[in-house]
Amino acid sequence: MTRYRPLSAVVLAAGEGTRMKSTRPKTLHVLCGRPMLLHVLDALAELPIDRAVVVVGHGAERVTKTLQEQGPADLAIDYVEQRAQLGTGDAASTALTAFPDDDEDGDIVVLPGDTPLLRPTTLAALVRHHRQTDAAASLLTARLPDPTGYGRVLRGKDDRVARIVEEVDASEEELALDEVCTSIYCFRRSLLAPALRRLSPENAQGEYYLTDVVGVLYDAGYNVTAVLADDPMETVGVNDRAQLAAAEDELRSRVNQRWLREGVTMIDPARIHVDVSVQLAPDVTLFPGTLLQGQTVVESGARLGPDTHLVDCLVGRDAIVEHTVGQDAEVGEGAIVGPYAWLAPGSHVPPGHRTGAFYAASSGSDE
């Protein structure tokens, strides 16, 4: 009988994200209606995680409050603060202070809070490979046509992962490598803390690199393995507005593909935006320029668009809503709204009712 091995997680979310040029903490920038850090935690929540620790720093109170209000209900989350930005190795060491000293059995997933495209299946594959190979550490790697900005994976003669070299510390030969470290790992927990204590900030950035743990473990004779990501896009970190837009585009495409498979018709999906929190029934039809946000619910047979923007609205069966903007409003079954309508918060269009052009419903209106 296989002995149970607990699985924990550490999410590194302390960075300021200066390249975002924003007062908002980097990991709270929104993709498809949800902060990117929550997308990461949603992926973790689908694994058998016993405990997750989020390392906060810049905007700590704001990050913590967001997670407490919107985090996955079935994921136990603790918080630790990295008061000085001394690198990812220091952040991981800080995270381990939240774990009991007398319980070092099991494995621990460590990943950044700015990888919102990571799929649960990819994380599960990493953990499974880690355990099947009885590795001390396993890392998710990717091969990129342009690896600029990423640490390169160096392998030993036996093809095992020997170490990671950060780009600023890499030689010309090392920079030519295209296999990169994604900063997503699974460690044997009993070995992680001793390895972290052996890190040194003697590098170009004067920081404690979590990537250096790989070399420490390899040099000590432990098995370090890698899992190559099938889709490199999953592993991409978001560091500026351009990368945020690219991640938003990818996530929007995933959301739309999911609804298409669930029986929703989309006329030109590239021009339709649906938040991850929106609920659509089969046989809904969405026309170009439709933007659905928040807790919007659309029931079967409804047709929305073109050019319709609804936030936190309920649209009944077989209703038609076109060229309309609405917020916190309800459209009854079979109602026809628009074109060029405004549904104010609290407004209600009764079942079967038809509005005229340029209709503006006031709060509580049934007309």
Catalytic positions, please? 19
Nearest-angstrom CA–CA distance, 166 and 93: 19
Residue type, 307: D
Q: Which among 180, 156, 155 has a CA at the least distance from the CA of 167?
A: 180
My answer on whether omega of the bond before 339 falls inside 30° of 0, hence cis, is yes
**Residue 87: strand, helix, or coil:** coil
Q: Which two tokens stand for residue 23?
A: 């007062």
Q: Which two tokens stand for residue 188?
A: 């044997």
- Using CA atoms, how far residue 164 sits from 118, 160, 167, in Å, is 21, 12, 9
**Residue 330 and residue 311 in contact, taking contact as beta carbons nearer than 8 Å:** no
Q: Which two tokens stand for residue 258?
A: 């999911």
Does the CA dihedral 205-208-210-215 come out positive or negative?
Answer: positive
Does the CA dihedral 125-128-134-136 come out positive or negative?
Answer: positive
What are the CB-based long-range contacts (under 8 Å, 24+) for 116-119? 116/31, 116/36, 116/37, 116/39, 116/40, 116/238, 116/247, 116/251, 117/39, 117/233, 117/234, 117/235, 117/236, 117/247, 117/250, 117/251, 118/39, 118/40, 118/43, 118/184, 118/234, 118/235, 119/43, 119/234
